[in-house]
Amino acid sequence: MHNFSLLHDDVMDGDLTRRHRPTVWSLFGTSNAILAGDAILGLAPRILSATGSEHALTAIDWFGKCVVKLCEGQAADISFSERVDVGIDACVAMARAKTGELLGTSCALGGLFAGADRTQITALREFGSEIGLAFQLVDDLLGIWGDPAVTGKPVRSDLVDRKKSLPVTAALGSGTQAGRRLAELFHQEESDAGLLAELVEEAGGRDWAMQTAEQAFARAKQWLEQAGLDKVAGGELLALAALTCRRNK
């Protein structure tokens, strides 16, 4: 499911590279990339069905709901590029739908197949949702200030594409002089991406995103504690959570 979303996302964004390699559409064409993504998505629920578990039907239902939610989040993300009234609450909701739902459902499915009770599954789902939000925040930071040699993306790619990412939205709504200047320049094609990055940072967008990612990480830890997992499993998931907030690619 994740790879399906990446194949289609690269088509929609027109990205030429992914993980330091050419994207599928850039090598094989848009139609083939869409069809490959569709095929992968069709194969995914078969993995759940093939388990023969008594939970398979529930798992496939959760999976389907997650796909719909992910698409809703992606649709919102696309619409933001044409809107001037995007607030930070709407942007966070988009990130929770697009990324938080994917990781939340993944964690819930793990709990379901492991025989967790309803309280534990809820805690695992919330843990994944918070990790998803943190992941998106860090991803947005890397989209502006990441090292292209590490991320595999062009420098300041999100600003070049004029994406209303979380740091940008926070800066635009900051009420600061830098935020107002950013709003004036953001949709002007001749505006330099380096200057836009400076304005986002000056308006507090970078600090806000970093702090919000850490807050999401802290909430994730609390949900993980409530899940009551054994020490090894809990430790591995906590390490995964920490990675989302401190990765560089």
Provide the residue ranges of all domains of the chain, joining segments of one domain with +. 1-50, 55-246
String of b and e for 168-203 (b: at least 16 CB within 10 Å)? Answer: bbbbbbbebebbebbbeebeeeebebeebbebbbbb
pLDDT tens string, the chain, 249 residues long: the values are 999 999 999 999 898 988 889 999 999 999 999 999 999 999 999 999 999 999 999 999 999 999 999 999 999 999 998 887 899 999 999 999 999 999 999 999 999 999 999 999 999 999 999 999 999 999 999 989 988 888 777 778 889 888 899 999 999 999 999 999 999 999 888 889 999 999 999 999 999 999 999 999 999 999 999 999 999 999 999 998 998 877 777
Name the architecture of domain 55-246: Orthogonal Bundle (1.10)
Predicted TM-score of the model (pTM): 0.91
